[in-house]
Structures are given as C-alpha cells and as structure tokens.
Amino acid sequence: MKKLSTILFLLFAFFIAQAQVKEPVKWTSKIEKKSNTEFVLVFNATIENDWHMYSQFSDENGAIPLEVVFNNNKGNYTPVGKAAESKTEKAFNETFGVTETFWSHTAQLRQTVKITNPANEVVQVSLNYQVCKEVCIQGENLFEFNINKLTAKEVKNFTEIKTATVAKPETTEVKADTATTVVDTAKAAVAPSTDNNTSTAEPVTKSTKEKEGDIDPWNIFLGTLLAGIFVTFTPCVFPMIPMTVSFFIKQNTSKAKGKFNAVFYGICIIAIYVLLSLPFHIFEGLDGNIFADISTNVYLNIFFFLVFVIFSISFFGAFEITIPSSLANKADNASNLGGLAGIFFMALTLIIVSFSCTGPALGLVFGTVLSSDGGATLVSLAMFGFGLGLAMPFMVFALFPSLMANLPKSGGWLNTVKVVFGFIELALAFKFLSNADLVLQLHLLEREVFLGIWIAIFAVLALYLFGKFSMPHDSPVPFLSVGRMLLGVLAFAFTVYLVPGLWGAPLKLLSGITPPLNYSESPFGFGGSGAAPVASTEKLPDGAKVAVHGIVAFEDYDKGLAYAKTVKKPVLLDFTGRACVNCRKMEEGVWVDPEVLTILKNDVVLISLYGDEQIDLPENEQFISKYSGRKITTVGKKWSDFQLGKYNSNARPYYVLMGLDEKNLNEPVAYTPDIQEYLKWLQQGVANFK
C-alpha cells in the first residue's frame, strides 16, 4: 500500500497542474454617457514589458486579432461600428509573412453602444485577445456595465489559453519613416499549438513467453506515436513549429549546423519523455507484481477517471491546466546557456509550457499503458513513441525547410482539435470507471449504461463537428471544411455502430473496452428472448455459474476439480481478471467461434480464477505468500499467488489444460487471438487426456 501511495502521489503531481502563468494584461473599464440612449464603453489595458497585444485590425494570418463580443445585445442595445483603438504599432512578421498590428505597454478601446431597450440596465461585453512574449496567451475577459449607475465592473478573467514559446524571442526595433515599431523576430523555439492485460513475469516455456508478449509492443508504439503527432495540431504546439525551425536555421551561419541543432532539439524532447518513465523501472524492481496491482487497482482506476474528466473539461475550454510557471522560468533561463546544454533546456521548456495541450494526451498514454499491466518496458516504449511523435515535425521541417510552405495557417481549427480530443478523453474516462465497477462487481456501470454514455458522447461530438453548437474558444464557422465534415461523418457512423450493442450486438471492434456481454442488465440485449443459456430443468453443479456464451464455469479451484473428477473431463484453468482487456478479447473474439465454444461447453470443465477479485478471505484462510512475501488477504491475491507459485507466471489471460491428476496436458498459453491456433491447442489437450 505504501508503494502504491507513492505512485499515486507521483502521478497526481505529474498530471494535475498547480499554478497558472500570470496574466500579462491588466484591465480597467468605465462607462461614459454620450446621450440618453448612447454610451461609450471604455477599456484600458496595461501591458507588461516585452509583451504585445494584437489589434482588431491585425492580419488574421498572424497572431489572433482582438475581438469584441457583445453577449446580451439582442433586443437590448446595438453596437455603433467597431471599437475605436488607441495608437497602435505595425511590424512585419517574417515567420508568418504578414504585417501585424499591436500595442505595447498600454492600449485603449472605446466602443459606442445605442440602447434599444430602456428596461435593460446591464451591458455585457467580452474581450478575446492574444498577447505574446515568449509565451502567447489567448485571454478572455468579461465586463459588465450598469448604464444606470454609470460604473463598470470587471467580472473576472475566467479563462486563459497559453500558446507557449520555448526560449525568449529577441525584440528588435525596426526604423520606419513615421514611427518606430517593435516586432518579435521569432528567434525563439516556440511550443506549437498541439487492454491489453499481460504480465511481465517469466513464464514456464519460451513459447509461453512469446504469448505473454502479445500485448504487442508495436501497437503500443504506433498508438503513442500517433498521440504525439496529434498533439502537434493543438494551439500550444502548432504555431511554434515554424518559429522554432526558423530560429535554429537562422541563428547559425552554417545551415548544416542549424539543422543539426534542430534535430538535436527533437532528440532532447524524446529523451526527456523517456526519462519520465525511469521511476517505473525502479517500482518494478521493488515489486514484480506492481503493474498487475496498478492495472486492477480500484482506487487508481477511479483516479484516472477523475483525471481524464478534468482534462476533458479543460480541453472544452472551462479552465486551463498548466505546470507551475516557476519551472518554465527556470528552464527558460537555463536555455540561455548556449550550446547543446542550452538546446536541451529549450526542449524542456517546450514540454513544460505546452503541458496544457500535451498533458491530457500524456495522461492518456500513462493511463492506457499502466492499466494494461504491460510493465515498465512498455511504459518507456510508450513514452518514446509519444516523444518521437511530438518531436518529428520539428526535425522533419528542419531538414526540409521548404515543406513549411505547405503548413496550414494557425486559426480556429486548432481549438476544434482540442475540443475533439476532449470528447475522446471523456469517453475513455468511463473505461477506467468501468474497470473499477467490474473489479468490485457493483453492476453500476453495466454494458447498456456504458454504451448509452458513449452513444451520447459521440452523438454530441458529431453535432459539434457539424457546427450545430460551438465551445467557448471557438471561432465563428461560416462553413464546414471538408476535413471537419468527414470527421463528423466518422463520429456519427461510430455512434450508429454502438446502438445495436444495446440489443446484444457483440461490437467486436470494442472487445475488451466495453463491459462483457454477460455483465448487463439484459445479457441477451433489449427485446431478447431472455432464454436461459442452460435449460431450466438442468441444475447447475455446486459452486458453478453460467459464464459468457452460456458456458458453465467454476470460480473455485477445488470445487471445479471435484466436479471434473465426477464427470471425468479435463480441466481448463482460466487465469483471468474482471478488468482484463485481453481476457475479454479472448472471450468475445475467440471463444465465440462455434468449434471452440463446443469444446468449452462439452469437452472440458472451465475453472475461471479472477486475479483481481476483491472479496476478502476469511481471516483463518489468510496467509503469507512464500513466493512474494506479501500477505494474501483477498480471493484475487490467492489465485494470483497460486498461478505464480505453480506456473511461474502472472499473465492474464493464462490458460492451462490439465488432467485429473493436476498435471498439464500440454504447454500453457497466454493471450492467443488466433482462433485456429487456440482451437488446435484445445484439441491437442483434449486428445492427450483421452
């Protein structure tokens, strides 16, 4: 428990950010009466040194222009033209190839409104703006003006989205005929806007070890690689790609040196993420069963559920999660060292300041791999894949700068990517809650309830993509892009695919993710015949129960073995888990095969031993394991200890065919998704018994 508490603390400290980057723009406001029906709303901004806030009239292909939003104007008042602005500055941004208009130090907006509803007393206006230094922040401030009292009350800065840069951009003065203007030259590395349940225990034979590796490291690597690439298309990461590449290429007289530095920058990103996995190797060395415990731990699954819900709400725009700004500042200062060490700290700064976008994706990586009982090696592989995916655009565009001309311009679509990711995180959150419910056998989140939640989530996602509603930080969508429309169709099609699951459809694409078919309010689906899988006249043996697909199974070794001796059939030991993904994949993808199912129903006695069963053992049956030295207090720990002691494995699933003398009829196997291979193994064992 102490080790688990340590892990929980580390994960909590890593996932939940504790502070926000300070707001570099301070606002005050007031209202001036122009006539009985016209009023002037005045907004004054004080901008910290070296920061720039962009005008309403700045080119939209560069930084995001300021926007004045009238929240309650319909039927109450009418804005008279656009807000008048105080003196602005202009400068050409080489990175985006546009002239930007912005303020330094101070800014003022004066917006005239005409009252059309005398009964209305309050005017609500939001200012959406972007302010940049080494970090770009998209702020949103809400103001309330009481036209009767002629005072203005600034409500509160309720959200702030960071788009971060890695190193301090140089500010240079550009001499013009009429005025001196200031421009960020982008000489900074900018942070762009961005179940497998097998064990690592050594098995009995070489062939078994290969089976236990069937969590397939390639799937883990490719999945996390895609996650890393995906987060590069978020507001915290994407805009930084051209700036960072330009910084490395332009700061060196030699292009080859610049390219080398940019590639080394990418390698540092990968290395930092891999280093984050090292503590898990220490945990695994202290306790070989630690990942098996993590993957089925009720409290940890609930913890991941809460983390994913928080991250999804953050992606929807309710609030911002960041790592403490002091860490970013220290890493940023260290990046000024120069040389390779400076580049390393620039990469570290990128990872810290882009956490608001990469954190949820990283949480998804950690949560998925830890819940798979894949061991520390797979955690490192996952972190390598994620880091490589995040670093690839920086390295590729550094090697081939001409490709940057094909990059899409930053815009509102970046926030759409975040929102879509938020929906996905919310859906996956319920997978962790389902794991906890399955382990405890509470039947609170049965198959129909789970599917109902997912159907609702992906239906709302489809409506969002089709433009039926917008989220807080979305830009207006005058028309649907082809990509957004196709993604909406995909979300809608997936929703339609889920619906038949309510009526008992197996949904094989989601095997192991949804609760099993027999963990349901109506195991045969709504409107099903409800016929019992075992004839009503047939009495179940003592200690037996009806399992998936109507198979009669035992969950106690002694009772199952005693029955097998009575009917003179071989025993199939099924070491499994309530929250084991690969176990469900075997049951729903392999056991459903007619030939396999016939053997399981007629030719063997199935004994399913759940390694994550949370039922407490009677005090007189509790004992100290001679294999692990731990006190065995639950039924699940008893069967895990039995498996480890007798078969030198803690893989789940793990299948053993044995005779009535309790000797193996053939080699045990772990996860075997190939139907013919598993069928051949069953047939061989039954033939050896006969």
548 DSSP 8-state letter: G
Pairing, β 552-554 against β 605-610 = parallel
Q: What is the distance between the alpha carbons of residues 225 and 559, in angstroms, rounded to a whole number?
A: 47
Judged against a pLDDT cut of 80, whether residue 483 lies above it is answered with yes
Cβ-contact 421, 315 below 8 angstroms: yes
Quick one: residue 88, left, alpha or beta (phi over 0 = left, psi -120 to 50 = alpha)? beta
Q: What are the structure tokens assigned to 576, written together?
A: 């499994």
Q: What is the distance between the alpha carbons of residues 549 and 461, in angstroms, rounded to a whole number?
A: 34
Pairing, β 654-658 against β 571-576 = antiparallel
Q: What are the structure tokens assigned to 417, written together?
A: 């990517």
% of the chain at pLDDT higher than 90: 23
Mind listing the pLDDT tens digit for each residue in 162-188? 333 333 333 333 333 333 333 333 333
Superfamily classification of domain 544-689: Glutaredoxin (3.40.30.10)
Mind listing the pLDDT tens digit for each residue in 499-555? 998 888 888 888 778 888 878 877 655 554 433 444 444 578 888 998 888 899 999
Pairing, β 151-164 against β 631-632 = unpaired
Domain ranges of the chain: 25-184, 193-413, 446-531, 544-689
Q: Which helix (H) or strand (E) is 177 found in, with range?
A: none
Q: Mean per-residue pLDDT for 52-73?
A: 86
Highest mean pLDDT among 339-343, 365-369, 370-374: 339-343
Task: Note the pTM of the prediction, 2 decimals.
Answer: 0.54
Amino acid at 304: F
3-state percent helix, strand, coil for the chain, nearest multiple of 5 = 45, 20, 35
Cβ-contact 250, 329 below 8 angstroms: no
Q: What is the distance between the alpha carbons of residues 492 and 496, in angstroms, rounded to a whole number?
A: 6
528 DSSP 8-state letter: -
Under DSSP, is residue 512 helix (H, G, I), strand (E, B) or coil?
coil
Highest mean pLDDT among 322-336, 378-392, 447-461, 469-483: 447-461
Minimum mean pLDDT among 17-21, 397-401, 640-644: which range? 17-21
Mind listing the pLDDT tens digit for each residue in 85-115? 999 998 887 766 788 899 999 999 999 999 8
Cβ-contact 487, 465 below 8 angstroms: yes
What per-residue confidence (pLDDT) applies to 661?
A: 92
